[in-house]
Copies of this chain bind each other. A is one copy, B any other.
Amino acid sequence: MVFENVLVVDPVDGEYAGIVEVTRGFISGVRRRAGCPDCELLLLPGFVDLHTHGSKGVDSLSMDEKGLKKWEEFLYSQGVTYFLPTTMSAQPESLISSAKVVERYLESNSLTSVGGIHYEGPYLSLRRKGAQNPSLIREIDLQEVDSTLNGTIKLLTMAPELRGFREAAALIQRRGITLSIGHTDASYDDMMKAYKYGCKRVTHFPNGMNTLHHRDPGCVGAVFSEDFSVEMIIDGVHSLPSFVKMVFRIKGSERIMIVTDTISAAGMDDGEYELGGLKVILKDGRPTLEDGTIAATVVLFSEAVRNFKTFTDCSHKDLARVSSYNALRSISIEDRGRIAPGYIADFVILDRELGIVETVLAGKTVYKK
């Protein structure tokens, strides 16, 4: 399989006209061309969404394997070649049940973009609950934490100010799972301590956390003071475009990861949906709880990518970082996310307006416009 006359965009080597060869699912060769006046298409590492609760009516907490398949296929149309179904705060049995669905799914699908699962909660700050169900948020219980972890868990969002955080962090990290800080009312010092414990990743920054003050720098101050990597929801609503641009300026393209945080209503019509046991009303493409709280998003990944480009005027190389490479590295996935020999051939092919033209998963075309 050969991709000719494309503008290759690699998060490390940057952008150049080239030819990409694929053999048995891996990139076997990348050659540069002198120029490419007829290059109409960009070839980037496939998009990665590590924070999505659902799409097309499928929700991570209630899905079965058929639903997960539907979700995965929908995300192909968005250029996504790796994602983590993400649970809301829930009872341990529910979390385990979702993890089991993913486990069985991975066993029966050797070619899949499902990378594992992301538990967003339930060990979060009640004060910074956002659209999380308060009745399901709870204190850290080490035994309970332990009981919910299986081999499919890749990422776990927790509030670092909770009692027992340090022990829980150690337990989770020993299992090879990445911790992300989110839905938190942590002080600046709590954040810095968490950073020292190896928690260098922040969930949907700066939503669901306290904000900056010069006499109380808090979560946002800590994020700007240390090399935390941050998920960001790039819908122009959770953070204004100007704020996204500012964060890009402060953190750089190495420390931002686009996530959608979509709910099951993504890709669906306006109506009523459910999220972690709470009713969500989707109206004019904006999902809210009954009290008006923003309830995650229905933004599509490719839209978020185009938004990021518009908001920040970044380079294609930067875009490859924030849409794929950084997220993969944040959970220690090293075998994809680059356009270079030896890497898994996960690509998204885009037109010059960043519309999705083709999605390639391990060398196989899984979506074509």
A residues bordering B, Cβ < 8 Å? 188, 206-207, 211-217, 220-221, 224-225, 237-240, 242-243, 245-246, 249-250
Instruction: With both chains docked as a complex, state the minimum distance between the C-beta of A54 and any C-beta of chain B, in angstroms.
Output: 24
Task: Kindly state the separation between the CA atoms of A239 and B212 in the bound complex, as whole angstroms.
Answer: 12
In the complex the two chains form, is A224's CB within 8 Å of B239's CB?
no
Copies of this chain, tallied across the complex: 2
CB within 8 Å for A212 and B220 given contacts A225-B246, A245-B225, A249-B225: yes
Contact of A250 among B224, B242, B243 (CB under 8 A): B224
Whole-angstrom distance between the alpha carbons of A206 and B221 in the complex?
Answer: 13
Assess the A243–B220 pair: CB atoms within 8 A: no
The answer to whether A249 touches B221 (Cβ under 8 A) is: no
Please name all residues of chain B whose beta carbon is closer than 8 Å to the beta carbon of A242 when the two chains form the complex.
Answer: 188, 217, 221, 225
Pairs across A and B, CB under 8 Å, 10 listed: A206-B214, A211-B213, A214-B243, A215-B239, A215-B240, A215-B243, A221-B242, A221-B243, A225-B245, A225-B246
Enumerate the 9 nearest inter-chain pairs by beta-carbon distance, A residue then B residue, closest first. A214-B239, A225-B246, A214-B243, A212-B212, A206-B214, A217-B243, A217-B242, A224-B246, A221-B246
Closest to A192 in B: B242
Give the shortest distance, in Å, between A62 (CB) and chain B (any CB): 31
Q: Contacts of A212 on B, CB cut-off 8 Å?
A: 211-212, 220
Shortest CB-to-CB span from A340 to chain B, Å, is: 32
Give chain B residues whose Cβ lies under 8 Å from the Cβ of A217: 240, 242-243, 246
Residue in B closest to A244 when the chains form the complex, CB atoms: B214
Contacts of A207 in B (CB 8 A): 214
Task: Point out which of A211, A216, A242 has the most chain B C-beta atoms below 10 A from its C-beta.
Answer: A242
Q: Which residues of B contact A239 (CB under 8 A)?
A: 214-215
Contact: A224 with B249, CB < 8 Å?
Answer: yes
Chain B residues positioned under 8 Å from A188 (CB to CB): 242
- Given contacts A211-B213, A217-B240, list 16 more A-B pairs with CB under 8 A: A188-B242, A206-B214, A211-B211, A212-B212, A212-B220, A214-B238, A214-B239, A215-B239, A215-B243, A217-B246, A221-B243, A224-B246, A224-B250, A225-B242, A225-B245, A250-B250
Interchain CA distance A245-B215 in the complex, whole Å: 13
Chain B hits for A221, CB < 8 A: 242-243, 246
What residues on B are CB-neighbors of A245 within 8 Å? Answer: 225
Q: Residues of B contacting A238 with CB < 8 Å?
A: 214
Docked CA distance A121–B216 (Å): 28
Q: Which residues of chain B have C-beta atoms less than 8 A from A224's C-beta?
A: 246, 249-250
